[in-house]
Amino acid sequence: MTQHVHAPPARSGSAPEGAGAGVPPAARKRRAGAWRKRAEIAFFVAPALALVATFIAFPVAQAVRYSFYRWNGLGPLENWVGLENYVRALGHEVFTDAVVNNLTIVVLSVVVQLPLGLGIALLLNRQMRGQSLLRVVIFIPYVLAEVVAGVVWFLLLQPRGMLNALLEAAGLGEWVQLWLADPDIALWTVLGVLTWKYLGLAVILMLAGLQGVPPELYEAAQIDGATWWQVQRKITIPLLGPTIRTWAFLSMIGSLQLFDMVWILTGGGPANATVTMAVYLIDQGTNRSLYGYASAVAVLLFVISLTLAALYQVFILRRDVAEAPARRRRRRAVR
Amino acid sequence: MTGVPVAPVRDPVADAPEQRRRRRSSAYSGGNPLVYAVALVVVAITVGPVLYAILGGFRTNAQLAANPVGMPDPWVVTNYIDVLTSAQFWQLTWNSTVIAVLTTAIVCVAGVMAAYPLARYTFPGREVLFLVFTLGLLFPLTVAIIPLFLMIRDMGLTNSVWGVALPQAAFALPMTVVILRPFLRALPTELEEAALIDGASRIGFFWRILLPLSGPGLVTVGVLAFVASWNAYLLPLLILTAPADQTLPLGVANFSTEYAQDTAGVLAFTSLAMIPALVFFLAMEKRIVSGLQGAVKG
Amino acid sequence: MSRRRGAVAITTAGVAALVLAACNGGEADADGDGGATGQDAAAGEEVTITWWHNSNNDPGRSYYEQVAEDFMADNPGVTIDITAIAHDDMLTRLDAAFQTGDHPDIFMERGGGETAAHADAGLLRDLTDDAADTISVIEAYTGGYTVEERVYALPFSSGVVGFWYNQDLFDQAGITEVPTTMTEFDDTVAALKSAGIEPVSVGAGEGWPAAHYYYYYALRACPEDAVVAAVEQHDFSDNCWVAAGEHLEELIATEPFNAGFLATPAQTGPTSASGLLASEQVAMELAGHWEPGVMQGLSEDNTIPFNLGWFGFPAIDGGAGDQDAVLGGGDAWAVNADAPDAAVDFAEYLLSDEVQTGFAENDMGLPTNPAASGSVTDEALAELLDTRDEAPLVQLYFDTAFGENIGGAMNEAVVAIFAGSGTPQGVVDAMVDAAAQE
């Protein structure tokens, strides 16, 4: 976001009108050009902006408005209650549980998927038989619908389902669990399924990042006699920093908005053990017809997401921007 | 927003991924048995549930009840045939296809148009405009779902493909713009300068040169939008209330509760519902992966 | 949260008369006037009536198609547009449609707080005068659909909740008599356990099946005026609402329920509460009149492979409520406030002797029109009908009676007791808290 500060001086090419500015054109022509440019920009941006304004900004603004009312969805919006819905939500145990569950999923998704994804990506980033097949296979869960994958996992995780039968067959009878029915376990089960579902994304993104590591570095390291592991640790992983930070950001946003998988697997149960903010708000909205209250929860969900995203930008992604000029110099030298 | 630093030196046209991979693979080649063992475990866990569903569809409910982990014995195809000969399954597939294609088309057209000035013009407010799009990333559909539903009804788009495709396209746009902007920015400036010197207008440059060159980026965002639409659940659930207008995920969810006692049938239905997404992805895999590189680095 | 899932098979969970005295059979005025009125009203004009129902499986689906055909034949110019959808979907779609005001002309209402809210919002046609004749036939059941003396829907099915049990498994455990008190119930559970049989299944994953236990304890523990105060004023100050939770805690402490009951669905699939009973993996389940139909649907060959029995919820010691009162509910046909008059005629036709008899013959539910009582062919259902008619009081499911907001909060808090994380006071607190939001 802060690239605005750094970009113009460093980027020689991508601003074509900069090149044109050197030539002194007639003032009138420049003004006409300026209008033309504005019209072009408007033409290009208008469709996207219209869609975002109509289908995102407006409904979100409406949700904010509803959140100040007590409204069961029937009849006009007239019972203004100020901040009462927000006070209620923040004091409601199920909502605070949902926030804690979301945060748990945010943190553990990164903590679990990062080393796994990185490890698998490093493994796959070498010549081996079946490598391209592996890359495809590991991405399969990610392309499946959460609903479809959820239905299959739901069946697998039944008390008499395949997972428990497998454990029995493997002589691990004491590991048999009520995966979705035990309030102490259900959240971990959901996390496991989410890891299965989204690990492929981490792997693919990191593989993509690895493609960007200049091969010269490997060659140089190999000549210096570095082992494969040394190369990964000293060269590859540090250079993957931006990729990892971007992926973690995407993962965080996804975890905060988690709905489909939980809805299909547990519906937020048992006894609200796996409830997330999105599940809670849909439940309150559609099952209880508390539209004003559900809208307040929606706004809180947004505020929490925004806060975390901003903190992430400030404390983590900023490093990428700060490092940028230095790296750019380095790259240019290589060229 | 994120990959900014790397973008300027990227040159997707010159740095063909194939080339790079070949070069590197000469540096460190081969895998040891441990690598293969780990890979095998990963594959088993990854495809296990999918295989379970597919194989389960070839079993009877009695077989499933007697032994949840066994192989089909004998193999039964009636579950699959029942699904494949039901009009409902094809109707669901057709609906999903229409909505996904529409969503993808809208996202690609609107997305690349918006990304172009954001990437290659300098104008006051550019970063603010970009921020507007990136902020869109933070709004889950759930935040807006209730007002959105009411609005779509007012527009008379309930049970219409547009009622799903337009909002879906809108919610896919932020990611699209975030991915495409650095991608477009990384295209060499010389192209643009040459085109402008040749007398092409900015719009002409966009159509004739930029658009063809942004193919890989468009494939990426197109595929992401397509998969997101194909897999979407919440919005279709509220907008597509008539069974004849519903999509595959809705169909799978409904089928799995309505016919829950017929586990084998549910597995067959679910397996068949997976196939279009899997086939689509397998066909696009190479281009998706190379496109995704641009996305993350960009 | 699959909490809305009602009974998918025969009729539905959730619903019926608020506090209805079930014993007055209402023999008088048993002539339904059926389509007769419709002929007069609709003659000549072209109208289309949209009708949503949840009998999306045969025989119910075909039966209703036939009913619509018959009505259309008798009423030229009237077209009936039927949408038969699964119960869950129907609820979702109705909720959505109520918000937008484009709900169908004829649809199902479940009574209680929900119907009152719909009536307040002007969504329902006042049928008090327009369908007066029909209402007089079924007035024993219209209480749950009455708001300030006006009737807003015509109940067509009303059932009761009790324990369905596997007679064979009871025999196997040496149980010769069904329990009539909680002490005897505990003995029954103990006997089943020592015979190695899982005693009771409960679909706590969906909330309401677990909450039915709480409702019954409340019904047994609460004096009638406390129930009335709760339903009408949302006043839960009587200590019986806490006592009900304490009784429930005692029951849960005996661990009678199936493994994984917290995530067990009510009726979907072989591992649901109904599926476990149907496949003889548990000995009994607390469920409504829909249970035999659900279990048939869950079996491969549409039969129940054992002797199915029924007993009422046992009495508790020192309860201030009526120990023979039953918990029940059903469904009613409501008419859109903006519907053409022909829709009222059709709703009345649905309650006619003729249609209700067919309804009973097809085992689609427990008919409210007394003329159809004798036509229930299923033995278990016929037995239930007797129980319903003999009960001193049929209390509408409390979640329905209180409305979805208080009801939902209550069910959630009851499930928390089942999970060991909630308390009896917590249920009352949740209800009071939710009521403050009304």
At CA C300, angle to CA C89 and CA C309, rounded to 5?
Answer: 85
Domain assignment of residue C41, yes or no: yes
pLDDT at residue A11 is higher than 70 = no
Whether the pLDDT of residue C80 is over 80: the answer is yes
- Mean confidence (pLDDT) of chain A: 81
DSSP bridge pairs for B284: none
A185 Cβ under 8 Å from any chain C Cβ: no
Which has the minimum average pLDDT: A28-32, C160-164, C276-280?
A28-32
The pLDDT value recorded for residue C220 is 94
Is pLDDT larger for residue B232 or for residue B292?
B232
Q: Which residues in chain B have Cβ-Cβ distances shorter than 8 Å to A37?
A: 121, 123, 202
**Among the listed residues A99, A145, A109, A97, the one whose alpha carbon sits nearest the alpha carbon of residue A252:** A109
CB contact under 8 A, B143 and A63: yes
Same domain, C286 and C353: no
Give the residue-averaged pLDDT of A241-268. Answer: 88
Residue B121 dihedral angles phi and psi, to the nearest 5°: -115, 150
> A206-218 burial string, b = 16+ CB within 10 Å, else e?
bbbbbbbbebebb
Q: Quote the CA–CA distance of A168 and A302 in Å, as a whole number.
A: 44
Min Cα distance B57 → chain A (Å) is: 11
Decide if pLDDT at C224 tops 60.
yes
Which residues touch C93 (CB under 8 Å, ≥6 apart)?
B241, C52, C85
Neighbours of chain B (3+ CB pairs under 8 A): A, C
CA angle B246, C297, B77 (to 5 degrees): 65
* Residue C123 contacts A, CB cutoff 8 Å: yes
List the beta bridge partners of residue A243: none
Q: Which residues of A touch B192 (CB under 8 A)?
A: 16
On whether both C167 and C53 belong to a single domain, the answer is no
What does the alpha-carbon distance between residue A316 and residue B78 come to, in Å, rounded to a whole number? 55
Q: What is the C-alpha to C-alpha distance for residues C113 and A201, in angstroms, rounded to an integer?
A: 47
Whether B271 has its CB under 8 Å from any CB of chain C: the answer is no
CB C23 within 8 A of CB C392: yes
What's the confidence (pLDDT) of residue C292?
Answer: 84
Cα–Cα distance, B37 to B15 (Å, whole number)? 33
Residue of C262, C271, C425 to mutate, interface with A, max A Cβ within 10 Å:
C262
The predicted structure's pLDDT at residue B277 = 78
Query: For residue C378, is it left (φ>0), alpha (ψ between -120 and 50) or beta?
Result: beta
- What is the value of pTM for the model shown? 0.79
Chain A neighbors (3+ CB pairs < 8 Å): B, C
pLDDT at C164 over 90: yes
Task: Map tokens 């669901």 to a residue.
Answer: B92
Distance CA C238, CA C222 (A): 8
Nearest residue in chain B measured CA to CA from A286: B146
Q: Do C38 and C187 belong together in one domain?
A: no
Same domain, C95 and C21: yes
In whole angstroms, give the CA distance from residue B93 to residue B152: 23
Inform me whether the pLDDT recorded for B5 exceeds 50.
no
Structure tokens at A144: 């499946």
Cα atoms in the Cβ-side hemisphere of radius 13 Å centred on A84? 15
- Mean pLDDT confidence for C248-267: 92
Distance from CA of B228 to the nearest CA of C (A): 23
Residues from chain A that touch C263, judged by Cβ atoms under 8 A, are 178, 180-181, 186, 266, 269-270
Are B181 and A48 in contact by the 8 Å Cβ rule? The answer is no
- Which residues 115-154 of C are in CB contact (within 8 Å) with B? none
DSSP codes, C247-267: HHHHHHHT--BPTTGGG--SS
Could you tell me how many CB contacts below 8 A there are between chain A and chain C? 93
Calculate the average pLDDT of chain C. 84
Q: Which residues of B touch C102 (CB under 8 A)?
A: 153
C197 within a domain of the structure (yes/no) = yes
In this prediction, what percent of chain B has a pLDDT beyond 90? 23
Q: Is the predicted pLDDT of residue B102 greater than 70, yes or no?
A: yes
Specify the pLDDT at position A328: 45
Residue A14 pLDDT exceeds 50: no
Q: What's the confidence (pLDDT) of residue A83? A: 92
Tell whether C322 and C339 lie within a shared domain.
no
Question: Looking at the predicted structure, is the pLDDT value of residue A250 above 90?
Answer: no
Q: Are residues C127 and C224 in the same domain?
A: no
Is residue C154 scored above 80 in pLDDT? yes
In a domain, C4, yes or no: no
In this complex, is the C-beta atom of B238 within 8 Å of any C-beta atom belonging to chain C?
yes
Q: Considering the domain boundaries, does residue C179 fall inside one?
A: yes
The mean pLDDT value for B179-192 works out to: 81
Contact by Cβ (8 Å): A301, A253: no
Query: Which has the closest alpha carbon to C53: C67, C70, C41?
Result: C67
B16 vs C334, which has greater pLDDT?
C334
For residues B178-182, average pLDDT: 85
For residue range C173-213, what is the model confidence (pLDDT) as tens digits?
Answer: 999 999 999 999 999 999 999 999 999 999 998 889 999 99
Q: Which value, in Å, is the radius of gyration of the alpha carbons in chain C? A: 21
Report DSSP letters for B116-127, one per residue.
Answer: HHHHH---TTHH
User: For residue B215, which amino acid is it?
Assistant: G
| A31-85 pLDDT tens trace | 677 788 888 888 999 999 999 999 999 999 999 999 999 887 777 788 898 899 9
Instruction: Give the pLDDT band (50/70/90) at residue B68.
Output: confident
Closest CA to C365 of C331, C399, C407: C331
Q: Which segment, A69-78, A115-124, A186-195, B60-69, is predicted with the most confidence on average?
A: A186-195
Same-domain pairing of C165 and C303: yes
Number of domains present in the structure of chain C: 2
Inter-chain CB proximity C263 and A160 less than 8 Å: no
**Tell me, what's the pLDDT at C195?**
94
- Distance separating alpha carbons of residues A313 and A306, to the nearest angstrom: 10
Query: Can you tell me the distance from the alpha carbon of A232 to that of A210, in angstroms, rounded to the nearest whole number?
Result: 10
Say what the ipTM of the complex is: 0.80
Angle between helices C353-361 and C60-74 (to 10 degrees): 160
Phi, psi of C170 (to 5 degrees): -60, -45
How does pLDDT run across C344-386, given as a tens digit for each residue? 999 999 999 999 999 988 878 889 888 888 888 777 777 778 8
Least confident stretch, A125-139, A156-170, C151-165: A125-139
Q: Which pLDDT score is estimated for B93? A: 93
C425 touches chain A (CB under 8 A): no
CA C298 to chain centroid, in Å, comes to: 20
Same domain (yes/no): C131, C218: no
Are the Cβ atoms of A169 and B144 closer than 8 angstroms?
no
pLDDT of C7: 34
Q: Which residues of C touch A267 (CB under 8 A)?
A: 1-3, 205
Q: Are residues C227 and C349 in the same domain?
A: no
The answer to whether residue C263 is domain-embedded is: yes
Domain-located, residue C8? no
Contact across the interface for A287 and C3, Cβ inside 8 Å: yes
pLDDT band at A15 (very low <50, low <70, confident <90, very high): very low
Mean pLDDT value across residues A252-270: 89
Sequence-distant (6+) residues with CB within 8 A of A223 are none
The answer, for B138 touching chain A at a CB cutoff of 8 Å, is yes
C-beta atoms surrounding B11 within 10 Å:
11
Is C192:C172 a contact under the CB 8 Å cutoff?
no
Q: Residue B292's pLDDT is what? A: 55
Question: Looking at the predicted structure, is the pLDDT value of residue A326 above 50?
Answer: no
Q: Which chains touch C (3 or more CB pairs under 8 A)?
A: A, B
Domain that holds residue C415: 160-326+399-436
Supply the pLDDT for residue B152.
85
Residue C95 with chain A: CB contacts under 8 Å:
73, 286, 289
Whether C393 maps to a domain, the answer reads no
Q: Is A223 exposed, middle or buried (0-12, 13-18, 19+ CB in 10 A)?
A: exposed
What is the pairing mode between strands C19-20 and C394-396? antiparallel
Q: Does residue C7 belong to any structural domain of this protein?
A: no
Q: Percent of chain A at pLDDT above 90? A: 30
**Residue B88, token pair as written in the block:** 């409902």
Interacting residues of B236 by C-beta distance below 8 A, sequence separation 6+? B99, B164, B246, B247, B249, B250
A323–chain B nearest CA distance, Å: 8
Residue C181 DSSP symbol: B
pLDDT band per the 50, 70, 90 thresholds, residue C169 = very high
End-to-end CA distance of chain B: 8
Asked whether residue C117 falls in the same domain as residue C73, the answer is yes
Contact at 8 Å (CB) between C77 and C43? Answer: yes
Q: Read off the CATH number of the domain in which C183 is found.
A: 3.40.190.10
Q: Is residue A292 less than 8 Å (CB to CB) from chain B?
A: no
Q: Give DSSP secondary structure letters for A290-331.
A: -HHHHHHHHHHHHHHHHHHHHHHIIIIIHHHHHHHHHHHHHH
Q: Are C182 and C317 in contact (CB under 8 A)?
A: yes
| Cα gap C106→C52, rounded to integer Å | 6
DSSP reduced 3-state for B68: coil
Question: Is residue A45 less than 8 Å (CB to CB) from chain B?
Answer: yes
The pLDDT > 70 percentage for chain B reads: 85
User: Is pLDDT at C22 greater than 70 in this prediction?
Assistant: no
Q: Closest approach of chain C CAs to the CA of A204, in angstroms?
A: 33
Establish if C110 touches chain A: CB-CB under 8 angstroms: no
pLDDT band at C246 (very low <50, low <70, confident <90, very high): very high
Residue A17 has pLDDT above 50, yes or no: no
Question: Are residues C65 and C140 located together in one domain of the fold?
Answer: yes
Q: Give the closest residue to A270 by CA, choosing from C204, C285, C259.
A: C204
Residue-level pLDDT at A222: 76
Chain segment B256-288, per-residue pLDDT in tens: 887 777 888 999 999 999 888 788 877 776 666
Q: Find which of B238, B261, B263 to mutate to test the C interface (most C CBs within 10 Å of its CB).
A: B261
All residues of chain A having their beta carbon less than 8 Å from the beta carbon of residue C416 are 271-272
Compute the mean pLDDT over every residue in chain B, rounded to the nearest whole number.
79
Specify whether C100 is located in the same domain as C144. yes
Q: Does A193 touch chain C (CB under 8 A)?
A: no
Average pLDDT of span C5-20:
31
The per-residue pLDDT for A8 is: 35
Distances from the Cα of B64 to the Cα of A210, B58, B77, C270, angstroms: 43, 10, 15, 11
Yes or no: say if B187 and B125 are a contact pair by the CB < 8 Å rule.
no
